[in-house]
Amino acid sequence: MTCGFLNSAGTDLDSLFLVNNSNAGALGFQTSAAQDLGNRFATGSLGYSVGYRNSANTDIGTLRGNSSAPVFSAYNATMNNLYNSGKTQCYHGSGEDQYSHAQRYMRGYIYVTGSCSGYGSSAPTWQVCICHYHTEGGYTHHYRLAVVADSTAQVTPSPCLDLNPDRLAANTEGPWITVKNNASGASRSMNIAFGLYSNDGRGGNSYGECIRVYQRFYNSYGTTSWVSNSFNLGS
């Protein structure tokens, strides 16, 4: 692209600034299409002069820059090799202290992809998180969620038979687990192997177990919104 304004070296300013049509405010220099350069280039600063000054005598190289917060261009996630053990009745203790619950194991892996644009010279970082929720409205159940980044292996979490198991109310997300937060680049993909153990604590309720994957891109200028994909793992 060219805007028609050249610096002293003959370089069009479109090659120096990030063109993101940000409507950041007029600077007093208009292209042949009547677009002000202040609304053409990203907010920020190049850190050096380009030879054009606004009405306040400030070079526009310190008023507009070549980087911006990333924006999503595409994202997706797909479930693979989903396994659901179904319910198994379990008993613990004996006599008057005996109790039962219906437990189940679920596992598989999720292939996650994301891409972004609009960030200019400030490379974005990809962050991916995963969490668990269920849809049975009458009970706060016990669960364990284990994940392995960049893997398609089978993951089997330990059952929650300790005195302080993780508990989760219906339609409430469990704590997010960050599985990736150091991947630089505008187009990324990964596999997340997961294993989920849950029990209803009272022997037979049926409820929907779900996994939700969140992702975003961010850099020093800002972040995309979080986007997500959800998967029903069965009862």
157 contacts 146 by C-beta, under 8 angstroms: yes
More confident residue, 167 or 106: 106
Q: Which pLDDT score is estimated for 90? A: 67
Closest to 70 in 3D by CA, of 122, 35, 109: 122
Mean pLDDT of 4-10: 95
Q: Where are the domains of the chain?
A: 1-66, 71-234
77 has a pLDDT exceeding 90: yes
111 has a pLDDT exceeding 90: yes
64 contacts 37 by C-beta, under 8 angstroms: yes
CA distance 90 to 101: 5
Q: Which pLDDT score is estimated for 170? A: 78
Mean per-residue pLDDT of the chain? 87
Q: 137-159, pLDDT tens digit by residue?
A: 666 677 889 999 999 999 988 76
- Specify the amino acid at residue 62: T
Q: Which pLDDT score is estimated for 169? A: 78
Q: Which pLDDT score is estimated for 235? A: 72
Q: Which pLDDT score is estimated for 216? A: 97
Q: Which pLDDT score is estimated for 50? A: 96
Q: Which pLDDT score is estimated for 95? A: 60
Q: Which pLDDT score is estimated for 64? A: 95
Listed in sequence order, the residues at least 6 apart from 64 whose beta carbon sits closer than 8 Å to its beta carbon are 17, 24, 27, 37, 38, 41, 42, 43, 44, 45, 46
Mean pLDDT of 193-199: 90
Q: 29-47, pLDDT tens digit by residue?
A: 999 999 999 999 999 899 9
CA distance 160 to 148: 19
What is the percent of the chain where pLDDT is above 90? 65
User: Which two tokens mark 20?
Assistant: 């993101």
CA distance 160 to 146: 12
Q: Which pLDDT score is estimated for 172? A: 86
CA distance 45 to 42: 9
Q: Which pLDDT score is estimated for 207? A: 65
Listed in sequence order, the residues at least 6 apart from 72 whose beta carbon sits closer than 8 Å to its beta carbon are 114, 115, 116, 217, 224, 225, 227
User: Which two tokens mark 192?
Assistant: 């997340």
195 contacts 55 by C-beta, under 8 angstroms: no
Confidence of residue 94 (pLDDT cuts 50, 70, 90): low
Mean pLDDT of 75-86: 93
Closest to 198 in 3D by CA, of 132, 137, 150: 132
Topology of the domain comprising 71-234: Immunoglobulin-like (2.60.40)
211 has a pLDDT exceeding 60: yes
Which residues pair with residue 3 across a beta bridge? none
Q: Which pLDDT score is estimated for 8? A: 94
DSSP letter (8 states) at residue 55 = T
Q: Which pLDDT score is estimated for 1? A: 78
